[in-house]
A and B are shown apart, each in its own frame.
Chain A
Amino acid sequence: DIVMTQSPLSLAVTPGEPASISCRSSQSLLHSDGNNYLDWYLQKPGKSPQLLIYLGSNRASGVPDRFSGSGSGTDFTLKISRVEAEDVGIYYCMQDLQMAYTFGQGTKLDIK
């Protein structure tokens, strides 16, 4: 299985300030088609997860442009340019290059 490792595992951010989450995979997620098969999800408290970013850097429909994804190969980053109160929850990266798809441990975002 591909092992996904996130850091930090928790962070507290003042509203309006930026936040960044790192995700590292145990093997490259860069496919021969040129895509990185890495997604980002947010699970708000008591809710189903929601897709934020797919193929490493593409924002999903309806996702605010303060969210951005970058990286290639084995190192990826999710950035929130200006955190808002509604962004609290647990952020997961996930590889869908090969089944079994695997998630990182999750990063809990709180508001200061």
Chain B
Amino acid sequence: SQTIHQWPATLVQPVGSPLSLECTVEGTSNPNLYWYRQAAGRGLQLLFYSVGIGQISSEVPQNLSASRPQDRQFILSSKKLLLSDSGFYLCAWSVSGYYTEAFFGQGTRLTVV
């Protein structure tokens, strides 16, 4: 069966520090991968999506970047965190090629102080 792993679960980082959140998927090949963010009291915002290794599309301009170095690995990064980067970050995957549902990880709650 397919599983998605996302870590860490919680993270407190100072302003200006770097960030690296990792997400891996098991049990499937060539998945579509997504990063979402949910700020406190707000809805889910799609940040990045990827349909293959090295193929990243950004939905909104921001202080973050994403990379997909391997088929089932998706990384969210920042060189210097801002207070506004605080939020609940969710990784998700779906089967590529046709309509299907997305499966979400348990999320990382990031607090920038």
Physical interaction between A and B: no
Residues on B lying within 8 angstroms of A by beta carbon are none
